[in-house]
Structures are given as C-alpha cells and as structure tokens.
C-alpha cells in the first residue's frame, strides 16, 4: 500500500480496535490543511465509549504506533490528531511506487462483471453532443474499471428498432442504396431522416408503404431485414468514423442495439404477468413502481404494452436488464445516459426489483450527465440552427489545436504536428467534458478548452511533455533514474510526493461516484504541484545525489500524468 493516508489507517486499525474493546473502529484518516493528515476517529470513539476525546486522542499519540511514520503528532481542537509524516516514511512509500508498473494502484479485491451502457446513438439520426458526452464519460469509466481488474462488458445500445424504420426503409428504396449509402456514411444522417419524414408528412402513398414496411419488419420478413441491416450498417460506418476520431474503445463487437431485445420482450412481459405486476390503464398494460407520482400526485405507470399492443422503450430496457443479469451475470450495470432519462431508468430499475430480476448485491446505476450548452447558454446548435454534426466538431477541434501548436512550437515537423494536433484537439474536447461535474450543464467554449493554462487538457499534456523534454535535452534515459532513491527535503518536493502517493485514493474517489471530474481535479493538482516544484527546485543544475533524486521525482510525475490522462481516454504526447 503506497497511499500514506491508507497506510496510516491500516497501522492504526489494531489500536483502535483495542481501545474499542476488540471491535473494529474506524480511525478516520483524512487529508488536512494544517498538516499532512488528520486522524479524526478518536472523537467518534470517545463518544461511543463515553470517554474524553482529547484524552483518547492523547492515548493514540502516546501509544508509539506512529513513531516511525510521523515526526509530529499534535492533539488539536476537540480531539483531532494532526500528523506530519516523516520524510523517511514518505520516501519508503515512494520507493515502492517507483518500481511499480501500476503506480501504487492495487487491483480491486472484489473483481466484478461490469456492464457499461454508453454512447447509444440512433440509427439514421445525427449523433448529438449528448451522445458525445455519453461516449467520452463511458469510455473513461470503462478504462478505470478495467484498470482495477474488473471484467468490463461494453454495450452500445444503439436505437436501431421501432416505427420510424418503416419510412426509413422506404426512403432507402426510393433513393437507391448507393445514393443513400453515400449520404449516410458521410454523416448526413439528419438529412436522410428529414427527407423521409417530409415525404411521410406529404404523401399518403408513402405513409401506406411505410406502415406496411413496419409490419413486414416486425414480422421478420427477410427482404425487409436485409434493407434494415443495410441502414444500420451505413449509420454504423459513420458512428465508427466518429469513434475512431475520438479514440474510444468501442467497436462493432460492442453493438447491443434495441433490436437485440425485441425477441426477449414477450418473455419478459409474460414474467411480469405471472408475477401479477400488470395493471390495465386506459387500454395499456402498465406496472406501478412504488414512489413514482405524476404532477397530480397519482401513481405513475411504467407502460409495458401500449393500447395498440406494442411493446415500449421501457419494455426493451426491462429485457435488457434481464439479459445483463441472467446471461451476462452482471454485478454492476452502469447506464451512461443524459439526466432527462433519469425517471425512465429509475422506473425500469424499480420494476426489475419488484419482479425480482434485480436483487442485491447486483446494482444498476444511472450515471447521468447534464447538457452541453452553446455560448448563449442554450442547447448547442450549429450556426444553421441544426444540431451540431459530431464529426465536424471533432475535425474543428483538431484544426484549432494544430493552429495553437504551430504558434507555440513552430519548430515541430509538420507530420509530427498533425499527430500531436490530434491528441491535443481531441484531448482538449474530452477533458473539457470530463472535468466538469458530470451532472451539471457546461458551456462549450473553444478558447477555454484549448488554452495552455488553467484546468485544461492541453495544460496537462504540456506538463507531461515538459518533463519529457527535460530528459530529452539532457540526453538522459528516463528509465535509468527509476532505481534512484528519492529524498524529500524541500516543501515542494514533499508536496509533490504526497500528491503522487495519493493517486490510488484519487482513483477510488472517482469510482465511488463514477465521476471522472474527480480524477481530472487530481491530475490538475498534480500538474500544479509539479509546477511549484519545478520553479523552486532546480533539477539539472543541482549536484548529485539531489539531481538524480529530482529527476526521479519528475519521471514519476510524468508517468502518473500519462497514466491518469490515459484513464480519461487522453493521450499525452512527448512533445507539443
């Protein structure tokens, strides 16, 4: 264990249990502004035992358990203990991390099967910025869980089924496959959809055909299915282009669209019936999950089957939960979907609990997120007023990054610049998205996300590249300093070391709330600590052994920067 706070907690556990008459008691070790750490557990324990908290805290100090760990232990306030770690303790913790490919992060003790439902654009519709958020946040959660040793199953629940497919297929036939394919795979999904919709509105003949086609589709007519598959493939070709540009892990193997759950719905519906959960409501068949009310305070139904006998979006999500629990054996299901679908998901989960399909310890979590707003603070639109085309947005990010790099580093060779511009542009976009508290809306602002200062992707990538360049310019192989002993004398060295050692707990807090912005905050603080260190502590100009010690600290910083950015799905170039 390399995190000094966690180590402290482990060291104190037996003592606290002793004081508590043998039963475990949490020492409650927290970061502190005044010292390196604070032990708060004596307060709660004293209360439980009816003892004086300051006396109990003093007993902890006098026990001698922390002699090797702390240079200073001070009982403060009503009974906190402020801890200042000894340099030798921190140095030994660091030594363990330097030689560790996992940078001090241990795999989770309970490896789980985690299903992540994310991205999920709709066939023959433009991916919107909401799908961008889902894709970027989901990708980071996948990487984080995989790193901790969980088995992650990625599911891209694309909208590939439903009534609109009647008109979409007919429009495909009208246009001819080649024309349709050109438009769709180029990303003109909205155009295709709008044309089909306009025809549907204007022509009764087209409506007839579209309706008949839905019936054929639902009846499994092979010729219709062939056309439907073409439509799905053409859209997927476009989605895949976006995924490649975005550099996310999704592939065709991860597709698990709504269509997959259609054959399962009848069975799921039957199970609701058998369980006696179905009620009739104005001709529809519904379930009333407890705790959901409409505006008038009446119970809110989850519609399982409409008046016309059709299964609903909710029914397909029920089938989807059943599939994930019963076939995939999921322990944890994450739904990375915008907050507008919060109620839908909560109702689905609740119905699954009522039916006994979702039982502890299996968990379903809605990882919701806010909207992306334009500078006018309204939902982001293109200048023409349409929803923004995602592929264009990504291209623009890369172009802007290329311009910024050309200005900052005119010496970089053109081919290299292009590679770096990709990493910086896409990284900037992802970081802007990930670094805001995910539940909140955020304003999309090119200048801010691409700035080389502040809490931005480029700033963090630059911090990494700067460290790489220290080694490059001095002609020192980074790996060569990894067996060096790091000594911590200056306060900036200590602060940086404490931050590096806190990497595992930063990952823990991030995953506790499925909130990548917490990891972003950590990375930013790490870069800031490095910056202070770099300002106050000369590296190459110092004499040995300080020089090598500082090089080792710099190298470790670069490794943690690169790795943590990697968990956010962001690549850190070695120069920029």
Do residues 436 and 516 lie in contact, with contact meaning Cβ atoms separated by under 8 Å? no
Shortest Cβ 258–ligand ARG spacing (Å): 7
Our measurement of the distance from residue 256's CA atom to the centroid of its chain's CA atoms, rounded to an integer in Å, reads 20
Tell me phi and psi for residue 541, to 5 degrees: -80, -10
Smallest gap from residue 398 Cβ to ligand ARG (A)? 25
Question: Shortest Cβ distance from residue 363 to ligand ARG (Å)?
Answer: 15
Site string for ligand ARG, 69-108 (x = CB under 6 A): ----------------------------------------
CA distance 141 to 151: 12
Q: How far apart are the first and last CA of the chain?
A: 35
Instruction: Please pick, from the candidates 157, 430, 518, 559, the single residue that binds ligand ARG as defined by CB under 6 A.
Output: 157
Nearest to 336 by CA among 563, 151, 516: 516
CB of 516 to ligand ARG, least distance (A): 19
Q: 71, 59 in Cβ contact below 8 A?
A: no
Q: Which of 2, 7, 122, 262 binds ligand ARG (CB under 6 A)?
A: 122
Using the minimum distance from each CB to ligand ARG, give the nearer residue, 83 or 393.
393
Q: Which residue lies nearer to ligand ARG by CB, 265 or 421?
A: 265
Query: Interface with ligand ARG includes 366 (CB under 6 A)?
Result: no
Nearest to 521 by CA among 188, 485, 513: 513
For position 519 contacting ligand ARG by CB under 6 A, the verdict is no
DSSP helix/strand/coil, 332: strand
Alpha-carbon span 456 to 445, nearest angstrom: 12
Positions in 370-429 near ligand ARG (CB under 6 A):
none
Closest to ligand ARG by CB, 335 vs 442, is 335
CA distance 119 to 364: 17
d(CA 286, CA 216): 27
- Least distance in angstroms from the C-beta of 265 to ligand ARG: 14
Stretch that binds ligand ARG, among 32-40, 116-124, 179-187, 272-280 (CB under 6 A): 116-124
Which residue lies nearer to ligand ARG by CB, 238 or 524?
238
Least distance in angstroms from the C-beta of 321 to ligand ARG = 9
Smallest distance from ligand ARG to CB 165, Å:
14
The count of other CB atoms within 10 Å of the CB of residue 238 is 24
- The nearest distance, CB 335 to ligand ARG, in angstroms, is 6
Tell me how far, at minimum, the Cβ of 374 lies from ligand ARG, in Å: 20
- Piece of the chain touching ligand ARG by CB under 6 A; list 117-125, 201-209, 456-464, 472-480: 117-125
Q: Is 159 in the site for ligand ARG (CB under 6 A)?
A: yes
DSSP-assigned beta bridge partners for residue 116: 154, 334
Position among 3, 117, 139, 350 found at the interface with ligand ARG (CB under 6 A): 117
Segment lying near ligand ARG (by CB under 6 A), choices 2-10, 115-123, 179-187, 299-307:
115-123
The stretch near ligand ARG (CB under 6 A) out of 114-122, 166-174, 497-505, 510-518 is 114-122
- Establish if 337 lies at the interface with ligand ARG (CB under 6 A): yes
Binding mask 298-317 for ligand ARG (x = CB under 6 A): -------------------x
Which one, 157 or 400, has the nearer CB to ligand ARG?
A: 157
Decide if residue 332 touches ligand ARG (CB under 6 A). Answer: no
Provide, rounded to whole angstroms, the least separation between the CB of residue 157 and ligand ARG: 4
**Minimum Å distance from CB 520 to ligand ARG?**
24
Q: How far is the CB of 334 from ligand ARG (least distance, A)?
A: 11
Nearer to ligand ARG (CB atom), residue 154 or residue 547: 154
- Residues in CB range of 147: below 8 A, 6 or more apart: 105, 507, 567
Residue 157 or 550 having the CB closest to ligand ARG: 157
Q: Does 120 engage in binding with ligand ARG (CB under 6 A)?
A: yes
Structure tokens at 93: 């913790």
Say how many C-beta atoms besides its own lie within 10 A of residue 241's C-beta: 16
**Of 36 and 155, CB closest to ligand ARG:** 155
Q: Kindly state the smallest distance separating residue 395's Cβ from ligand ARG, in Å.
A: 23
Structural tokens at position 286: 């519904």
- The alpha carbon torsion through 75, 77, 81, 83 (nearest 10 deg) reads -90
| Coil, strand or helix at 204 | helix
**β-bridge partners, 154:** 116
Q: Say which residues have a Cβ less than 8 Å from residue 556's Cβ, sequence separation at least 6.
A: 94, 97, 98, 103, 486, 500
Check residue 132 for interaction with ligand ARG (CB under 6 A).
Answer: no
Report the interhelical angle of 177-185 vs 164-175 (nearest 10°).
120
Of 37 and 314, CB closest to ligand ARG: 314
Q: How many residues in the shown chain lie near ligand ARG by CB under 6 A?
A: 9
Cβ-based neighbour number of residue 426 at 10 Å: 23
* Residue located via tokens 């609903």: 312
DSSP string, 459-515: HHHHHHHHHHHHHHHHT--GGGGTTSPP---SHHHHHHHHHHHTHHHHHHHHHHTT-
Rounded distance between C-alpha atoms, residue 507 and residue 9, angstroms: 18
Nearest of 469, 451, 535, 466 to residue 496 by alpha carbon: 535
DSSP assignment string, 366-429: EE----EE-TTSSB---TTSSPPPHHHHHHHHHHHHHHHHHHH-TTS-HHHHHHHHHHHHHHHH
Closer to ligand ARG by CB, 145 or 157: give it: 157
Report, in Å, the least distance between residue 100 CB and ligand ARG.
37
Asked whether the beta carbons of 116 and 154 are under 8 A apart, the reply is yes
Residues that bind ligand ARG in the complex, under the rule CB under 6 A: 117, 120, 122, 157, 159, 317, 320, 335, 337
């Amino acid at each position: 264990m390399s995190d000094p706070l966690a180590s402290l907690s482990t060291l104190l556990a037996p003592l606290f249990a002793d004081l508590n008459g043998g039963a475990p008691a949490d020492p409650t070790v927290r970061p502190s502004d005044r010292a390196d750490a604070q032990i708060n557990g004596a307060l709660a324990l004293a209360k439980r035992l009816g003892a004086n908290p300051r006396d109990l805290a003093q007993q902890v100090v006098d026990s001698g358990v922390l002699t090797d760990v702390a240079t200073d232990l001070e009982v403060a306030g009503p009974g906190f203990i402020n801890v200042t770690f000894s340099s030798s303790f921190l140095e030994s913790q660091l030594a363990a991390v330097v030689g560790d490919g996992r940078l001090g992060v241990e795999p989770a003790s309970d490896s789980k099967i985690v299903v992540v439902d994310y991205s999920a654009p709709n066939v023959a519709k433009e991916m919107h910025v909401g799908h961008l958020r889902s894709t970027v946040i989901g990708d980071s959660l996948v990487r984080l869980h995989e790193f901790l040793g969980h088995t992650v199953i990625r599911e891209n629940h694309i909208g590939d089924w439903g009534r609109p497919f009647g008109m979409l297929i007919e429009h495909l036939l009208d246009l001819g496959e080649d024309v349709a394919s050109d438009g769709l795979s180029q990303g003109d999904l909205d155009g295709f959809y709008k044309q089909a919709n306009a025809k549907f509105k204007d022509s009764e003949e087209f409506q007839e055909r579209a309706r008949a086609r839905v019936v054929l589709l639902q009846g499994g007519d092979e010729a219709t299915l062939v056309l439907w598959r073409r439509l799905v493939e053409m859209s997927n070709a476009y989605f895949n282009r976006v995924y490649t540009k975005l550099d996310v892990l999704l592939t065709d193997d991860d597709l698990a669209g709504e269509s997959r759950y259609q054959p399962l719905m009848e069975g799921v519906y039957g199970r609701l019936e058998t369980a006696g959960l179905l009620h009739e409501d104005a001709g529809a068949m519904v379930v009333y999950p407890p705790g959901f009310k409409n505006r008038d305070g009446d119970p809110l139904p989850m519609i399982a089957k409409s008046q016309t006998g059709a299964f609903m979006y909710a029914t397909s999500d029920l089938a989807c939960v059943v599939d994930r629990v019963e076939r995939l054996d999921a322990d944890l299901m994450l739904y990375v979907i915008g907050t507008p679908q919060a109620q839908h998901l909560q109702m689905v989960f609740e119905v699954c609990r009522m039916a006994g399909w979702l039982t502890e310890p299996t968990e379903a979590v809605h990882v919701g997120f806010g909207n992306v707003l334009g500078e006018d603070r309204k939902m982001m639109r293109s200048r023409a007023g349409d929803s923004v085309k995602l592929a264009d947005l990504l291209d623009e990010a890369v172009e802007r990054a290329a311009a910024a790099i050309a200005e900052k580093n005119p010496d970089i060779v053109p081919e290299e610049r292009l590679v770096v511009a990709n990493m910086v542009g896409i990284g900037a976009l992802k970081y802007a998205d990930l670094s805001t508290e995910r539940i909140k809306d955020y304003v999309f602002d090119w200048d801010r996300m691409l700035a080389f200062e502040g809490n931005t992707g480029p700033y963090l990538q630059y911090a990494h590249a700067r460290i790489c360049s220290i080694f490059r310019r001095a002609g020192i192989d980074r790996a060569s300093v990894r067996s060096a002993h790091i000594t911590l004398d200056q306060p900036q060295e200590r602060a940086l070391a404490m931050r590096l050692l806190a990497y595992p707990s930063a990952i823990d807090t991030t995953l506790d709330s499925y909130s990548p912005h917490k990891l972003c905050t950590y990375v930013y603080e790490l870069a800031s600590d490095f910056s202070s260190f770099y300002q106050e502590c000369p590296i190459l100009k110092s004499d040995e052994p300080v020089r090598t010690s500082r090089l080792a600290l710099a190298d470790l910083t670069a490794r943690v920067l690169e790795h943590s950015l990697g968990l956010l799905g962001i690549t850190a170039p070695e120069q920029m």
